[in-house]
């Protein structure tokens, strides 16, 4: 007998989404159904290559008959359920989540954060100027990537990418509890004294820019980072024979960042140190 | 332990052509016209004086399929010889030769995704965790899905750390171990009799061949406990689905092809081939080493793995190209270097290769290259092959295939994927295909391709296995795996399903067992050279370091000779202390690193930092007679403490 179950064919689940009939394959989440229906639900800790962690609560929706709001990113669609995404209660909850996050964390490099704050009329300032913040200098302890704790929302995506979901290096974890919780390598040491293998797969999934490539970090600091002027070209890595797809982000004819398509059958968005960072040789031009 | 903070030699891009008027003079800058004319003149002179077989092309396993297609076409049409090869010779040529002999096709049989759904993975002579990290993520998925993994490697590598069982065999005893596994499977009655009868030949001879390899004899020869061998045999034979993967630990031996055959035998014995998630999978070491061979940049095959000795194949290409193809195999890279020694090879066109540093016994390789009448090097850097040894006559600046050109490459799972230009090339650098065509024009062949797609479509029209892969489809499906003969149907993820057909006509030729015998490494250890040196890759570095030296890796610590703690104590040496490392061919000085993954009598080095420690001065050029791959994995060395300990900080 094989140890690997082949599974049964997936059926379609029918339920009601904001008063309309929705049909999604069995196993889909409410978020999948919302996106299929063209609804824009904000998400931060959700990752397309990762199992949901339900950490940020910004995607909550109301499920008829449930006492609490449900995170759309992880709650599976069930036959006959009635889901409402835009109720007063759901919107209020998202607003408070955004206020709490934006008051304690620097969301300046979080894609769409400003847009959502506006849309939900969140007022992060209402906690006053002394709201709890980490207030730390970004940690620059190697030449490849930077850790900026002021921007960390503790969503655990980096921990999952480094750990059992992809990289299986387990270099980082959550240390401390409650208000002291933070993502760190063992003994909160510099990266160069840790188990880190510099694959950058944590940077790939970070939703806020708390983890960023040093190239991007330096250019932002110098005021030269300009995404509008960047091209993104997907090609194939020049190192080993595995054939990982690389998306080269190029500005002024310099590679400034390397990512990988998350739906690629070879990489699923993951790379190793060579593919992610080993590009400098082509632009040693004089 | 303090890591050495070392910046390796970085190479600067070539931005304009270089020529030299005589070998005693330094390079001077030239115009494209002058450089191309000189390159072409040298090839013409060679052909006129010594015939077409005095020319050889070293094509590039790093460049696109399209470039490799044009390079082999140049060799066969413009020069009229089959002397075209690439550095696949130094790594996986035995895999191609072994797989072709067994199954008639030289690719790995499975897909990465299948590893996630198999029941057993055997990683034999492969530290994929370091050398193929993203493939290993698929293995890890498989393990998390319940698959068991066995690691066969002299070193307890970071791959072996994930294994259920690590079989730490002595270097060069893969065949005894494989034969003992085969014998145990047969004696336990676990061989797949239906599959053997239906799809294989030579089983009786194989059974007889492996009969002497009892578990206890194998334990003596390989150093692996009999119980562990038995366990692997039973696990592999009883798994519903099993993947057998290997890398250079199998191929970089003087009998590499035999090693590959010995592993393939196990898949034939158990029927672990030609089914979803059951297969044999060599992990290729370079972005397009699979594609280079597929495109015919090898001396014995036309594009699409079509045999040169087959008249029908030749006729097809002769018609398409308007030429005559010599009905004999050309020289392998290994033959080429020997022919240089004997004065039979006079001109070489070397595209994107660095043989002066990548060949075993590098001193000898440099001497041989220097003896050529005419050497044209086309590269993105002035590598040692072009510069240090002062051998090249013309240097042509090329573009970086993966970031500055359009085209395709083919990966280890036979997936052809699109490569796209993202950067403007520096200075006057030009695309490989353009340059080759310009040289061809100067030799009387009016070649011009509109773009890479035009090259690809010419290849598609000649290679049935690639016919269904239009650029549009490659983009749509994020790559397609060969064989893909159809424009509509998606190809199967695995090869050789035909072996399971009940109709003999559909089943095709049976797969023969390889009757191969144990042959220990050529470079024997003795009192003078008591330590076995094996070589491999590190996670953050790559081959001769020309590419990987260019970025600031926090993991890089330069070259060391790695010893086990017991040997370090025996020699009285500590980490960082420089020692003299000698083999029968050369001497280098290298600092010591202590690695508990090694065993007494086993040392490890890489070839990533040749400008710092030229490891290939130690390695032996003992070649596989079938595939021509050198025995990089087994040299005999001696470690000597230096009189005054010079500890590098």
Domain assignment of residue B312, yes or no:
yes
A200 min Cα distance to partner chain B (Å): 12
Q: Give the whole-angstrom CA distance, residue A93 versus residue A80.
A: 25
Are B138 and A168 in contact, with CB atoms under 8 Å apart?
no
- Specify whether B195 is located in the same domain as B315: no
Q: Element (H or E) spanning A249, and its range?
A: strand A245-251
Q: Do B554 and A143 touch (CB under 8 A)?
A: yes
Q: SS3 of A234, please? A: strand
Per the domain annotation, does B489 fall within a domain? Answer: no
Mutate to test the interface with B, among A3, A218, A241 (most CBs of B within 10 A): A241
Residues B143 and B65 in one domain: no
What does the pLDDT read at residue A135? 85
Are B339 and B434 contained in the same domain? yes
CA A175 to chain CA centroid, nearest Å: 20
Q: Each residue of A140-196: pLDDT tens digit?
A: 999 999 999 999 999 999 999 999 999 999 999 999 888 889 999 988 899 999 999
pLDDT per residue over B111-142, tens digit each? 999 999 999 999 999 999 999 999 999 999 99
* CA gap B311, B303 in Å, rounded: 14
B546 contact residues in A (CB cutoff 8 A): 281
Which range, A133-137, B323-327, B626-630, has the best average confidence (pLDDT)? B323-327
Q: Which residue has the tokens 């001065």?
A: B617
Residue B265 has pLDDT above 80, yes or no: yes
Which residue do the tokens 């070839």 mark?
Answer: B607
Q: B574 lies in a domain? A: yes
Residue B13 lies inside a defined structural domain of this protein: no
pLDDT at A4: 47
Q: Which of B147, B540, B547 is the closest to A238 by Cβ?
A: B547
Same domain assignment for residues B270 and B308: no
Asked if residue B523 belongs to a domain, the reply is: no
DSSP string over B607-620:
SS-TTT--GGGTS-
List, for residues B11-29, the tens digit of each pLDDT value: 789 999 999 888 888 889 9
Print the domain residue range for B552. 531-641
Three-state SS letters, B506-546: HHCCCEECCCCCCCCCCCCCCCCCCEEEEECCCCCCCCCCC
What pLDDT was estimated at residue B382?
82
Helix (H) or strand (E) holding B458: helix B452-462
What is the residue whose two structure tokens read 């040692």? B384
Q: Given B119, B285, B553, which is nearest A3 (Cβ)?
A: B119
Indicate the residue of B283, B421, B552 with minimum beta-carbon distance to A143: B552
Overall CATH class of domain A145-283: mainly beta
State yes or no: pLDDT of B358 exceeds 70.
no
Please tell me the predicted confidence (pLDDT) of residue B398.
93
Instruction: Return phi, psi of residue A250, to 5°.
Output: -120, 130
Boundary residue ending a domain (B283, B314, B337): B283
pLDDT of residue B90: 66
pTM of the model: 0.92
Percent of chain A with pLDDT over 90: 83
Please name the residue of chain B whose CA is at the shortest distance from the CA of residue A143.
B552
- Distance between CA atoms of residues B423 and B177, nearest Å: 49
| Of residues B346, B332, B347, B327, the one with CA closest to residue B299 | B332
**In chain A, residues 152-171 whose CB comes closer than 8 Å to chain B:** 164, 166-168
CATH code at position B538: 2.40.40.20
Q: Which of B413, B430, B447 is the last residue of a domain?
A: B447
Query: Among B309, B386, B317, B335, which residue's Cα sits nearest to residue B93?
Result: B335
**CA angle (A9, A13, A19) in 5-degree steps:** 165
Find the range with the poorest average confidence among A264-278, B227-241, B358-372.
Answer: B358-372
Q: Based on the domain organization, do B104 and B82 belong to the same domain?
A: no
Q: Which two structure tokens, joined as six digits, stand for B109?
A: 């049989």
At B602-626, the pLDDT tens digits run 999 988 777 788 888 888 877 777 7
Same domain, B275 and B343: no
Gap between the Cα atoms of A182 and A57, Å rounded = 18
Give yes or no: residues B555 and B599 share one domain.
Answer: yes
What's the confidence (pLDDT) of residue B107? 86
> Are B554 and A250 inside 8 Å of each other by CB?
no
Cα–Cα distance for residue pair B566/B559, rounded to 1 Å: 20
Q: Are residues B261 and B294 in the same domain?
A: no
Q: What is the pLDDT of residues B555-586, one digit of tens each?
A: 888 889 999 999 999 999 999 999 999 999 88
Q: Which residues of A90-109 are buried (b: 16+ CB within 10 A; e: fewer)?
A: bbebbbebbbbbbbbbbbeb
Kindly state whether residues B261 and B198 are assigned to the same domain. yes
Domain ranges of chain A: 145-283
Choice between B6 and B533, residue whose per-residue pLDDT is larger: B533
> Cα–Cα distance between B149 and B137 in angstroms, integer?
13
Per-residue pLDDT band for B4 (boundaries 50, 70, 90) equals: very low
Question: B119 to chain A, minimum CA–CA distance in Å?
Answer: 6
pLDDT in tens, A33-57: 999 999 999 999 999 999 998 999 9
Pair B164, B114 in one domain:
yes
Helix (H, G, I), strand (E, B) or coil at B111: coil
DSSP-assigned letters across all residues of B130-175: HHSHHHHHHHHHHHHTT-EEEEE-SS--TTGGG-SEEE-PPTT-HH
Q: B423 and A234: CB-CB below 8 Å?
A: no
Judge whether B475 lies within some domain. Answer: no
pLDDT tens for residues B43-56?
999 999 999 999 99
Please indicate, yes or no, whether residues B540 and B614 belong to a single structural domain of this protein.
yes
Tell me how far apart the alpha carbons of residues A272 and A244 are, in angstroms, rounded to a whole number. Answer: 9
Question: Which CATH number fits the domain that encloses residue B368?
Answer: 3.40.50.740
Assess contact for A284 and B550: CB atoms under 8 A: yes
Taking only residues 236 to 275 of chain A, the set having a beta carbon closer than 8 angstroms to any beta carbon of chain B reads 236-246, 248, 250, 253, 255, 261, 263-268, 270-275
| Nearest to B529, CA basis, from B589, B601, B622, B604 | B601
pLDDT band at B354 (very low <50, low <70, confident <90, very high): confident
The DSSP secondary-structure symbol of B443 reads T
- For residue A226, what pLDDT is reported? 96
Domain count, chain B: 3
Q: B74: which DSSP letter?
A: I
B233, B255, B283 - which closes a domain: B283
Q: Indicate if B160 and B242 belong to the same structural domain.
A: yes
Interior CA angle at B129 toward B126 and B130, to 5°? 85
Place of tokens 């906690």: A127
* CB-CB under 8 Å, B423 with A250: yes
For B189-240, give the secondary structure using H, E and C. Answer: CCCCHHHHHHHEECHHHHHHHHCCCCHHHHHHHHCCCHHHHHHHHHHHHHCC
In 3-state terms, what secondary structure has residue B5?
A: coil
Whether the per-residue pLDDT at B648 is higher than 60: the answer is no
Per-residue pLDDT of A73-121, as tens digits, reads 999 999 999 999 999 999 999 999 999 999 999 999 999 999 999 999 9
Among candidates B420, B423, B542 on the partner chain, residue whose Cβ is nearest the Cβ of A274: B542
């Amino acid at each position: 007998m094989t140890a690997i179950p082949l599974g049964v064919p997936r059926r379609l689940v029918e339920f009601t989404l904001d008063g309309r009939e929705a049909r999604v394959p069995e196993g889909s989440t409410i978020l999948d159904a919302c996106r299929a229906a063209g609804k824009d639900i904000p998400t931060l800790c959700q990752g397309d290559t990762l199992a949901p962690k339900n950490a940020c609560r910004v995607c909550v929706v109301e499920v008829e008959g449930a006492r609490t709001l449900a995170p759309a990113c992880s709650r599976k669609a069930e036959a006959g359920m009635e889901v409402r995404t835009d109720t007063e209660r759901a919107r209020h909850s998202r607003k408070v989540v955004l206020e709490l996050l934006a008051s304690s964390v620097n969301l300046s490099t979080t894609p769409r954060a400003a847009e959502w704050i506006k849309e939900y009329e969140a007022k992060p300032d209402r906690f006053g100027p002394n709201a709890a913040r980490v207030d730390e200098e970004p940690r620059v302890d190697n030449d490849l990537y930077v850790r900026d704790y002021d921007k960390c929302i503790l969503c655990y995506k980096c921990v999952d990418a480094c750990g059992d979901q992809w990289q299986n290096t387990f270099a980082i974890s959550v240390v401390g509890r409650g208000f002291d919780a933070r993502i760190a390598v063992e003994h909160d040491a510099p990266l160069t004294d840790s188990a880190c293998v510099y694959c950058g797969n944590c940077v790939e999934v970070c939703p806020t820019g708390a983890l960023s490539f040093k190239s991007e970090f330096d250019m932002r600091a110098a005021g030269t980072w300009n995404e509008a002027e960047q091209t993104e070209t997907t090609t194939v890595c020049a190192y080993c024979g595995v054939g990982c797809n690389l998306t080269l982000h190029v500005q002024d004819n310099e590679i400034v960042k390397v990512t990988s398509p998350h739906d690629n059958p070879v990489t699923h968005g993951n790379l190793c140190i060579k593919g992610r960072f080993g590009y400098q040789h082509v632009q040693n031009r004089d | 332990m303090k890591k050495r903070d070392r910046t390796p030699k970085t190479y600067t891009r070539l931005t304009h052509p270089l020529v030299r008027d005589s070998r005693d003079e330094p390079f001077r800058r030239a115009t494209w016209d002058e450089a191309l004319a000189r390159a072409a003149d040298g090839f013409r002179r060679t052909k006129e004086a010594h015939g077409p077989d005095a020319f050889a092309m070293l094509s590039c396993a790093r460049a696109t399929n399209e470039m490799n297609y044009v390079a082999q076409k140049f060799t066969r049409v413009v020069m009229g010889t089959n002397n075209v090869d690439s550095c696949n010779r130094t790594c996986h040529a035995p895999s191609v030769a072994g797989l072709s002999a067994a199954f008639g096709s030289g690719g790995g049989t499975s897909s990465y995704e299948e590893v996630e759904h198999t029941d057993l993975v055997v990683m034999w002579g492969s530290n994929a965790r370091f050398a193929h990290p993203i493939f290993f993520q698929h293995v890890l998925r498989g393990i998390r899905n319940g698959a068991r993994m066995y690691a066969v490697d002299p070193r307890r590598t970071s791959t072996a750390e994930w294994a259920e069982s690590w079989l730490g065999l002595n270097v060069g005893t893969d065949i005894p171990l494989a034969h003992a596994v085969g014998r145990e499977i047969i004696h336990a009655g676990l061989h797949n009799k239906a599959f053997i009868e239906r799809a294989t030949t030579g089983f009786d001879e194989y059974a007889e061949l492996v009969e002497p390899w009892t578990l206890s004899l194998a334990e003596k020869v390989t150093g692996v406990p009999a119980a562990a061998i038995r366990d692997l045999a039973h696990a592999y034979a009883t798994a519903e689905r099993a993947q057998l993967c290997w890398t250079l630990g199998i191929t970089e031996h003087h009998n590499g092809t035999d090693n590959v055959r010995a592993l393939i035998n196990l898949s034939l014995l158990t029927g672990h081939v030609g089914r979803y998630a059951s297969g044999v999978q060599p992990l290729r070491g370079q972005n397009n080493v699979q594609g280079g061979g597929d495109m015919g940049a090898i001396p014995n095959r036309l594009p699409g793995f079509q045999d040169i000795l087959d008249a029908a194949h030749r006729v097809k290409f002769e018609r398409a190209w308007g030429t005559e193809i010599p009905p004999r195999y050309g020289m392998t890279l290994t033959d080429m270097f020997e022919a240089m020694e004997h004065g039979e090879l006079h001109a070489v066109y070397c595209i994107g290769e660095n043989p002066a540093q990548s060949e075993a016994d590098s001193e000898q390789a440099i001497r041989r290259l220097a003896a050529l009448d005419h050497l044209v090097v086309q590269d993105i850097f002035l590598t040692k092959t072009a510069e240090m040894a002062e051998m090249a006559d013309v240097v042509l600046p090329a573009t970086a295939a993966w970031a500055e050109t359009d085209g395709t490459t083919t990966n280890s799972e036979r997936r052809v994927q699109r490569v796209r230009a993202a950067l403007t090339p520096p200075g006057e650098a030009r695309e490989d295909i353009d340059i080759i065509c310009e040289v061809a024009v100067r030799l009387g062949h009016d070649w011009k391709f509109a773009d890479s797609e035009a090259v690809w479509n010419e290849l598609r029209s000649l290679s049935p296995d690639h016919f269904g892969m239009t650029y549009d489809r490659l983009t749509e499906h994020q790559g397609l795996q060969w064989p893909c003969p159809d424009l509509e149907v998606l190809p199967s993820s695995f090869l050789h399903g035909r072996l399971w057909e009940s109709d003999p006509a559909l089943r095709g030729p049976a797969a023969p067992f390889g009757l191969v015998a144990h042959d220990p490494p050529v470079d024997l250890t003795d009192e003078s050279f008591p330590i076995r040196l094996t070589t491999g890759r590190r996670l953050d570095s790559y081959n001769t370091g020309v590419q990987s030296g260019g970025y600031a890796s926090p993991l890089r610590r330069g070259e060391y000779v790695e010893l086990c703690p017991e040997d370090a104590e025996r020699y009285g040496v500590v980490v960082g202390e420089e020692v003299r490392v000698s083999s029968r061919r050369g001497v280098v000085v290298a600092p010591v690193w202590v690695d508990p993954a090694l065993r007494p009598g086993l040392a490890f080095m890489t070839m990533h930092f040749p400008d710092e420690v030229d490891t290939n001065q130690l390695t032996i050029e003992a070649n596989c007679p079938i595939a021509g791959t050198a025995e990089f994995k087994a040299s005999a060395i001696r470690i000597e403490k230096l009189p005054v300990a010079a500890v590098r900080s």
